[in-house]
Amino acid sequence: MKKLGIRVLVILAMLSTSLSVSAASIAATIGVNVLLNKDIDASVLKELGSLGTVLNVISEVDGLTMRIKANQLSKIQALPYVLAASPDAERNGAPIDTVAATDFSSGLSTWDQDAINVINGSTRSVAYDGTGVYVAVLDTGLVDAWRQYFPQERIAEEYAIAFGGGGGETGNVSTQKNKWEHDQNSHGTHVTSSILGFKAGANLYNGAAPMATIIPVKVLNQNGSGWSSVIAEGILYVASLKVGPLAGSPVVINMSLGGSRLDPLEKAAIDYAISVGVIIVASAGNEGEAGMGYPGAYEPVISVAASGWVGEWTSSSWWKGNVPDPTNPLDFYITDFSSREKSGQDLDVTAPGSWILGPYQVNSGQTSYYYLGGTSMSSPHVAGIVALMAQKLPSLTATQAESILEASSIALPAGSRTITNPDGSTTLISWGNDASGAGLITADAALLNTY
């Protein structure tokens, strides 16, 4: 009986612990994003306010953010005027691989820019450079030393902005003055360099659209992560520029970030931005066979997988970039980390995302350069190409841009390649037909089909 009594006490203790954990989970405070099927008015705010705290009202898309107890979510979802409500979704923009770059002894181009055919050696291969096009980089912002990497006139300081907060912090999304140019992460700076190019010492390195104007929009924190509510605010901010001071200019968004699910508020913001003429490009994700990330997997967004070049680390080519024939698919492969397209997801094209050289600081204020790998690196190559297309055809829409890119791509079907690693060893990399979308995109082919 004593043993049985002990066992009963243990079981009761386990049940008590389980109930405590369950109760704690129900009582947890979470941030949620709510999308309505009607205009937001006083009666709506009053009823929702009885279920939690309304934080941000986003009238452009009839949405709002709230802080609630977890057990109130189902009640909010059941309201007749609520189209969708879900916990604020996490977003991340961290690269997969980093290797320091120390040798800048020769060459003014990198393999990735040659692979998309904007550069041949040190000469541009296309007649367009992005003049007159604005590219909003929704990312971590720029590092303090950004003027040492980019021409000051290429950064639209008057429109640059930082958003912070989100469901994982206070729930409230707020703007933060000048924080956009005090980034400690460097992800946004490296992404920007693939679009504009960059300076290293006395040398200037090519970018896809070197005369485009970048709008830094900080939506990720200093750890390179953030929340979909903050992303939505950043998208809507860019949309407001498009219908306001930039109404006469093409506007492109690059989002080298993603998460596991599409948030309804973020989706509504994307739909609204596209409806007013903004073109959105995003990374496919770094989850390999686990599938694509969002918002990249959402169909209206132009999503980009990551390719590599078989000659990246060979001694004869080093980092300088001399792809003999950018149109030969046998010279390229799909990286093992690049997310594959799953049912219900939309993967559009592929661009360089393996060992991309650019500014990346590990010590604040000290200039440094790294090779980064990730679909975060492939997305800005396509955003740059879209900027060239929009320069040629200022009326270019998101739907047109996606169709042109897909029609202009070079198929990269399922296959395998043996590649050389930074340490000289080799690896066999294989991929299926779900990995490359329509295929490899080059700027010259996309421009040829833009009219």
- Catalytically active residues are 139, 187, 376
SS3 387: helix
Minimal CA–CA distance to 222: which of 182, 174, 175? 182
Buried b (16+ CB within 10 A) or exposed e, 397-434: ebebbbebbbebbbebeebebebbeeeeeeeebebeeb
Beta-sheet strands, E only, within 203-275: 203-205, 213-218, 225-227, 251-255
| Tokens representing residue 368 in the block | 């440094």
301 and 262 Cβ atoms separated by less than 8 Å: no
Q: For residues 85 and 410, what is the distance between their CA atoms, to the nearest angstrom?
A: 40
What one-letter code names the amino acid at 329? Answer: P
What one-letter code names the amino acid at 10? Answer: V
Q: For residues 281 and 387, what is the distance between their CA atoms, to the nearest angstrom?
A: 11
